[in-house]
Amino acid sequence: MRNLIIGAALALAAPLTALAQPTTVADSAKGKILTNAQGMALYTFSKDSTDHSVCDGGCAALWPPLKAAPSDQASGAFSIFRRSDGTLQWAYQGSPLYTFAKDSKPNQVTGDGFNNVWHVARPAGSQ
């Protein structure tokens, strides 16, 4: 019976970690931004559409997608979609999320405004 209870508790606890938000909110030179677990700024690409990325190949090398694990479960403003290469990617309010390879430290936002199509991701209600 004790093993059954422990097993049930572990089974219930496992999905809780999969529901964790893939991002955090941090302060930067551009105000409040979304960052990944390592504190690196997240960006959106204005050529993407809702839950669909057009950033592949060399683009994805410079702008790595924020990958999701098969066990991750989206909630609230976050969603997960399948990229053309079969990997899973996180999106916020339908916008796919990326980091920028040239950002070298947490909360750096050197990619914001890049070619007028890359923008730092902001939490809802932030300017």
Task: Report pLDDT digits (tens) over 47-98.
Answer: 999 999 999 999 999 999 999 999 999 999 999 999 999 999 999 999 999 9
Residue 5 has a pLDDT of 36
Contact call for residues 23 and 36 (beta carbons, < 8 A): yes
Percent pLDDT > 90 in the chain is 76
Question: What average pLDDT does range 27-52 have in this prediction?
Answer: 95
How many CB atoms are located within 10 Å of the residue 122 CB?
19
Lowest-confidence range among 14-28, 43-57, 110-124?
A: 14-28
Decide if pLDDT at 32 tops 60: yes
Q: Is 51 exposed, middle or buried (0-12, 13-18, 19+ CB in 10 A)?
A: middle
pTM of the model: 0.83
